[in-house]
Amino acid sequence: MKEDKLVIGNHEFDSRFILGSGKYSLDLIDAAVKHAGAQIITLALRRTTTDDAANILDYIPEGITLLPNTSGARTAEEAVRIAKLSRELGCGDFVKVEVIHDSKYLLPDNYETIKATEMLAKEGFIVMPYMYPDLNAARDLVNAGASAIMPLGAPIGSNKGLCTKDFIQILIDEIDLPIIVDAGIGKPSQACEAMEMGAAAVMANTAIATAGDIPAMAGAFKHAIEAGRTAYLAGLGRVIEKGGSASSPLTGFLKN
């Protein structure tokens, strides 16, 4: 069987779990890497302390790819500024674009996100935009130079799971870039479900960070993601969902 790699901007990863930002602690990063097998870890620049530029990297184990995000940005221009700052601090070329100017639901602004993606892709960043799952916006993001698309499952902090499931499925079906489900994944079963649908990876943080046993929950996510991925590759989910009836009640007459 062909090796199953997650490819983002010419970088290959074996793991399909990405640790989101939000609640950070050394324990969490340790658990995400050791027990969930994370190879990509999101970093919110706004959470780092003033003189701690070097410390950010100290926090992150060797061989792990940092994915700085632009949280705190309300416009495309602000996102670009934050992304450049993170690159200057030595956080690499990956960037997760987050443009939010809604303090209640924290829903991303697709229009500003597309603008930021275009500007950052031109600057040589590997851009992974966080977006509301809209097909037209996703196509624009592809054209703007995104390397992956990160639709939300539910509003941040809502713990509602895959509220946007049907629309994420459309992105998976129609967009040729990796679709990575971000936000709303509250349980391993939801991560598994996203992977069964054909998502390339899932991102989670709070679900693990606030678990009673962080390493155990990290491990549960790893297994759930692997199970979902295997199911997707096996094709079982699709056969069941799209109907496996052998007979042709309407067109059988053609054979006569």
- How many CB atoms are located within 10 Å of the residue 206 CB? 17
Using CB under 8 A as the binding rule, whether residue 247 contacts other proteins is answered as no
List 11, 34, 81, 238, residue binding other proteins (CB under 8 A): 81
Q: Which of residues 111-150 bind other proteins (CB under 8 A)?
A: none
- How many CB atoms are located within 10 Å of the residue 19 CB? 28
Closer to other proteins by Cβ: residue 30 or 226: 30
How far apart (Å, rounded) are the C-alpha atoms in residues 198 and 172? 6
Stretch that binds other proteins, among 114-122, 133-141, 145-153, 202-210 (CB under 8 A): 202-210
List 9, 59, 72, 237, residue binding other proteins (CB under 8 A): 72
The secondary structure element, H or E, covering residue 86 is: helix 76-88
Based on the residue annotation, tell me whether 222 is a catalytic residue of this protein: no
Closer to other proteins by Cβ: residue 81 or 165: 81
Distance in Å, CB of 46 to other proteins, minimum: 4
| Beta bridge partner(s), residue 81 | none
Closer to other proteins by Cβ: residue 65 or 206: 206
Stretch that binds other proteins, among 67-75, 132-140, 172-180, 246-254 (CB under 8 A): 67-75
Question: 């046993």: which residue's tokens?
Answer: 213
Q: How many helices (H) and strands (E) does the chain have?
A: 10, 10
Using CB under 8 A as the binding rule, whether residue 213 contacts other proteins is answered as no
Listed residue (209, 106, 108) closest to 158, CA to CA: 106
Catalytic residue among 2, 23, 84, 96: 96
Residue 198 φ/ψ region, left for φ over 0, alpha for ψ in the -120 to 50 degree band, beta for the rest: left
Stretch that binds other proteins, among 54-62, 73-81, 119-127, 230-238 (CB under 8 A): 73-81
CA distances 208 to 89, 178, 183, Å, are 28, 23, 13
Site for other proteins, rule CB under 8 A: 22-25, 44-50, 72-74, 78, 81-82, 85, 100-104, 106, 157-159, 206, 209-210
Catalytic residue positions? 96
